[in-house]
Amino acid sequence: MKIVVQEAPFDFGAEAQAFSDAAKGAGAVVTFTGVVREADAGAMAVMEIEHYPGMTEKALEKIAAEAMTRWSLTDALVIHRHGRLVPGDQIMMVATAARHRVAAFEAAEYLMDYLKSRAPFWKKEILDDGAAAWVDAKDEDEDALSRW
């Protein structure tokens, strides 16, 4: 299990390959990557991601450890960036390895649902004209936790 919180970009291809190479005994590896999308209204120039150093790592480790146990994963990886990102940048990735694909897919969805609402990150959108707004948490993101 590996948790990485960093400002720098990550190499998705290299991370996915290394994770898969190390996943001995697994029959399934699932990866998910989150990408900064354009804001709904207007042109977003920058997305700033703030986090709570210390608590972020603890929260991600707790979420990943729960997924490891619940789906008997052989390995799990979470990488999440912070700082200034622009549309098209990769924000984060998760990878899960399990003996069978259903467990790997479900665990990846669980990781995503929980790290959206339980890991201390906050997004701020800055538009081309300089206007800035914090992204509101969505009710459906909180509701998504109830299915687990």
Q: Which is nearer to another protein, 26 or 93 (CB)?
A: 93
Terminal C-alpha separation, the chain: 21
Task: State the DSSP H helix or E strand holding residue 66, giving kind and residue range, or none if neither.
Answer: helix 55-70
Q: Residue for token digits 């290299």?
A: 14
The answer to whether residues 60 and 80 touch, using CB atoms and an 8 Å cutoff, is yes
The partner residues of 90 in beta bridges, in order of sequence, read 35
> Is residue 44 close enough to count as binding another protein by CB under 8 A?
no
> Is residue 84 close enough to count as binding another protein by CB under 8 A?
no
Selected binder of another protein within 58, 102, 131, 148 (CB under 8 A): 58
Task: State the DSSP H helix or E strand holding residue 6, giving kind and residue range, or none if neither.
Answer: strand 2-6
Selected binder of another protein within 136, 140, 146, 147 (CB under 8 A): 136
The tokens describing 45, both together, are 């120039």
Q: Which is nearer to another protein, 89 or 99 (CB)?
A: 89
Q: How far is the CB of 147 from another protein (least distance, A)?
A: 16
Selected binder of another protein within 35, 131, 135, 145 (CB under 8 A): 135
Task: State the DSSP H helix or E strand holding residue 78, giving kind and residue range, or none if neither.
Answer: strand 75-81
> Is residue 80 close enough to count as binding another protein by CB under 8 A?
yes
List of residues contacting another protein (CB under 8 A): 34, 50, 52, 54-55, 58, 80, 91-92, 112, 115-124, 134-137, 142
